[in-house]
Amino acid sequence: MLARGPAPLDLAGAPPYRRAMTRPTPDSILIVDFGSQVTQLIARRVREAGVYCEIAPFTLAEEAFRRMAPGGIILSGSPAGVPEEGSPRAPQVLFDSGLPILGICYGQQVMTHQLGGTVEAGRDGEWDGEFGRAFLTVTRDCALFDGLWQVGDRHQVWMSHGDKVTRFAPGFEIVATSDGAPFAVIADEARRYYGTQFHPEVVHTPDGAKLLANFVHRVCGLAGDWTMAAYRETKVADIRAQVGSGRVICGLSGGVDSSVAAILIHEAVGDQLTCVFVDHGLLRMNEREQVERLFRDHYNIPLVVVDAEERFMAGLAGVTDPEAKRKFIGAEFVAVFEEEAVKLGGADFLAQGTLYPDVIESVSFTGGPSVTIKSHHNVGGLPERMNMKLVEPLRELFKDEVRALGRELGLPESMIRRHPFPGPGLAIRVPGEITREKLDILRKADAIYLEEIDQAGLYDQIWQAFAVLLPVKTVGVMGDYRTYDHVCALRAVTSTDGMTADFYPFEPAFLGRVATRIINQVRGINRVVYDYTSKPPGTIEWE
């Protein structure tokens, strides 16, 4: 018997909403983004240390600084080079503030340059950069190392830089070196300025999170009292202020992101919210029924279910390009919501479960020079004709933070623990042309795969697992007959934030069992393969 997604929803133990108390005013860190793809990981590490933070593009950093009145500043990395003409610079007001500053990679270099030091580009034949794992040696004590590193210690870090500091600014001294970066860590203890040439925010720097915690706690003196409860209270107040007496429609996908967003908004504005679930025919098995049970029967949130399979399938007919699929689905979602808003008598706001990774991978959320990886259907604003504004209460959160917020809101654990599911649904798990037949085949294979993972007790060890129906047919033998059927690829990854990921190391016996069951029970598949690609170089989804 096929599973109903990863696990049936258990609604019995979900507690009611807790009444919000007072709005918190936690200490904060301003992160100035110069366009690095991993800037959001800095925010993640700071939040893990219990300190609220915001990312602002270097072009808007001064405005954010004056609004936030932060307790410290972190300057991010960048794909740009400080010696390049027109490369990003930090606002002078940050250096005039007297606040502690930590510069990371490009952040170290731009701080050095703006304070009177020298940064040089890598030169072919002499020095071409330092990328990947490196080892640094601590040469002096500093507050950044308190309780963590001592003079003479040697530690693994992760480097990614083509330029390097060749002369530090007045007041600084070298506190750690590496083979490729004699200025691996520099410090001006009097002004509480620090610079690391390596990236402490990535998991490849084992002690990186502790270093960042040292900066926010020991150097900046921040308490570390920011929690999901605090975020909840702040966002409820923000939503009420934004929405006022207006009406909101929220697009539900069946995943944890849109579900948490809907329940948070409902707590803020009650029946001013109507949820819209679009059944576009690209859903997992029994997805529609689960959403109706949770929102209509359990939470009693107004819910409209739109049967839009025909229009989506017609629009996707013959479409094979992944970006074209995503853009059509995004545009069609907007059209459906627009129509439903009219039927409801008008709506002032459209709510979405947009997360940080969605935004970062689609376009530079920060306004900096970071590179677009792929489009997301729920990023990029709304057409002017809709005359609605977006409500995106999760836009600054990572997936695990959304799950923590879901627990704070009392969502059932079976919903919170669900693996991520993309907004375009199964459309991007059927590379090439999409047909109803292919979708039916994929739904069955995917359900078997997730059921086997759950029964093996592996579901919670995996960030995301799913099946992909490849646009490839192979010859097989079933009984005495020749077959010519589809190839099914299985994907499972481990991750903490979705920005980087590694394949899950299943035992061969498990994969063999899943492959046998799929081939035996799903007509149309005669071969199963497993995807061993990490992210990078691949993405988690296939399209």
Q: Specify burial of residue 441 (Cβ count, 10 A radius: 0-12, 13-18, 19+).
A: buried
What is the spatial distance between Cα 258 and Cα 263, in angstroms, rounded to a whole number? 9
Residue 10: predicted pLDDT: 40
Task: List the catalytic residue out of 113, 155, 199, 266.
Answer: 199
155 flagged as catalytic: no
488 flagged as catalytic: no
Whether 28-219 and 228-416 share one fold: the answer is yes
CB 398 within 8 A of CB 359: no
CA torsion sign for 235, 236, 240, 246 is positive
Task: List the catalytic residue out of 105, 220, 250, 488.
Answer: 105
Pairing of strands 525-530, 481-494: parallel
130 flagged as catalytic: no
Class of domain 430-530: alpha beta
Dihedral angle over CA of 327, 381, 539, 322, nearest 10: 0
Ranges of each domain in the chain: 28-219, 228-416, 430-530
What is the spatial distance between Cα 194 and Cα 111, in angstroms, rounded to a whole number? 9
pTM for this predicted structure: 0.69
Class of domain 228-416: alpha beta
CB 278 within 8 A of CB 292: no
CATH of domain 28-219: 3.40.50.880
Task: List the catalytic residue out of 201, 396, 408, 452.
Answer: 201
What is the spatial distance between Cα 342 and Cα 344, in angstroms, rounded to a whole number? 5
pLDDT tops 90 at residue 449: yes
Residue 438: predicted pLDDT: 96
DSSP 41: H
| pLDDT per residue as tens digits for the range 70-112 | 999 999 998 888 888 888 999 999 999 999 999 999 999 999 9
Mean pLDDT throughout 512-524?
Answer: 96
CB 528 within 8 A of CB 474: no
306 forms beta bridges with 278
| pLDDT per residue as tens digits for the range 108-150 | 999 999 999 888 876 544 445 556 788 999 999 999 999 999 9
Q: Which two tokens stand for residue 506?
A: 């299943």
- The answer to which of 10-14, 331-335, 458-462 has the lowest mean pLDDT is 10-14
What is the spatial distance between Cα 468 and Cα 425, in angstroms, rounded to a whole number? 12
